[in-house]
Structure 1
Amino acid sequence: MRPTLAVVLIAVLAPASLQQIMPPTSQQQRLPVQPPGKEDLYSDDNPPPPRIKFSSGTSSGTADDHDPSSPDKYHPSQIQPRISLAEAIGPQRSISSFGSVARLRSPTSDLLSDPAAKATVLAPLNSAIDALPRKPWESPSDYSALGDRAYQGQQGQDRANHNLEQFVKAHLVMRAPWREGDRATTWAGKQVWWEEKDGKRLILPDGVEVDRVVCRVANGELWLLKGVMNYQ
């Protein structure tokens, strides 16, 4: 083959070959804001949380970009004194299920926005909520008393809303900062504390592992949990 012809063939075939081996673009790899099956948690009356940008000394991304395997995952360096817990929860796609539930009722949504709240939010990951044997608004006692009619009609809706509110309150500790060994009370009235064992932070007495501490904000701290606190 003549050298000139070989050069022409390489120039023509190279782009097509590169397209086959190049990885998808960042646009194709981007994850949806909501995991599949969760889209119906939002409505006109319950809009999706705002997308708040968090700044740090080393990254221009959001707070959700933090590496959970980092050795300082329990001790975030960033402090956001002008941001509330409600705003901190917003961009966290990994806890979008809990974030949506927390905004459904005014008592809990108001607390997250209250600058004087000083609370620690123990937000279960989406995977932890998906692993529950029943939905957060379902209660075995309701089914025992009312059967399949437990959540039908207006009274059923009221029961479901009450159960959701209790679920969120069980994950709100009314203290921030919250130090190791300090016994604090959740909004649901349960006494809890935490300890670090073998490099893991556990919420006791339930023994739920903390995935990471996301940030400290004006009215508290946001912790992500690998499990769900006992809420019934």
Structure 2
Amino acid sequence: MNIPIVPPPADQEDLPSGSEGPIIISDVIQLDHSINIFAGFTRDIEPVAKRLEDGSRNTTVLAPLNSAVKALPRKPWEDPRDYAALGLDAYTGPGGEDRAHRNLRRFVQAHIIPTSPWKEREKIESLVGGSVWWETKNGKRTIQPGDIEVSVVANRVANGELWIIKGVINYA
């Protein structure tokens, strides 16, 4: 599914709006099937879901393609340190579920930038911490550190932007 790229609004009156008011990130993140794994994760992490539903909190979402999430050496909720400390049962029982949720929250929050618009070379801490910025290299927008290519800035809406990226932000 291709979602049209919407130019940035000149002012609030130019923002796209739906039947219930301005369109926000939580409205559009679920529309692109190429990022539906990450979109589902955002709904599972309450502080992130609330932020994406809040029209007053500008955010840039760096949504990894499904292929990038699938290419990870482990699931986003798994941490090798948990396996080293607790063995194969690291994610069983209530304690295991808590660990998995905490790890997934860290993964998702690493991809949420609490500003929009986000200027080139502007270093910002993601919600999990750690400074990230973007720059243009060889005509392509890349996220640093890590040289993660931005596939497309898919949407610009009332509370921010949705960027689709070809890799994942370091969340360890």
TM-score, structure 2 as length reference: 0.90
* 1:14-57 deviation digits (Å, cap 9, x = unpaired): xxxxxxxxxxxxxxxxxxxxxxxxxxxxxxxxxxxxxxxxxxxx
Higher relative contact order (Cα pairs below 8 Å, separated by 6+ residues): 2
Aligned residues: 162
> How do 1:1-232 and structure 2 match up within 5 A?
64-66=1-3, 76-77=6-7, 80=16, 82-232=22-172
* 1:201-232 deviation digits (Å, cap 9, x = unpaired): 11011211100001111111000000011011
Q: Gaps (5+ residues) in structure 2?
A: 9-14
Could you list the structure 1 runs, at least 4 aligned residues long, displaced by more than 3 angstroms after superposition: none
Q: Distance in 2 between matches of 1:219 and 1:94?
A: 22
Q: CA deviation at 1:116?
A: 1.4
Q: CA deviation at 1:105?
A: 2.1
Q: Quick check: which has more Rg, 1 or 2?
A: 1
* 1:47-85 deviation digits (Å, cap 9, x = unpaired): xxxxxxxxxxxxxxxxx4248xxxxxxx74265351111
Q: Gaps (5+ residues) in structure 1?
A: 1-63, 68-74
Conserved in 1, the CA contact under 8 Å of 2:148 and 2:166? yes
Instruction: Percent identity, please.
Output: 46
In angstroms, what is the RMSD of aligned CA positions? 1.5
Larger relative strand fraction: 2
Q: CA deviation at 1:145?
A: 0.6
Q: Distance in 1 between matches of 2:171 and 2:23?
A: 28
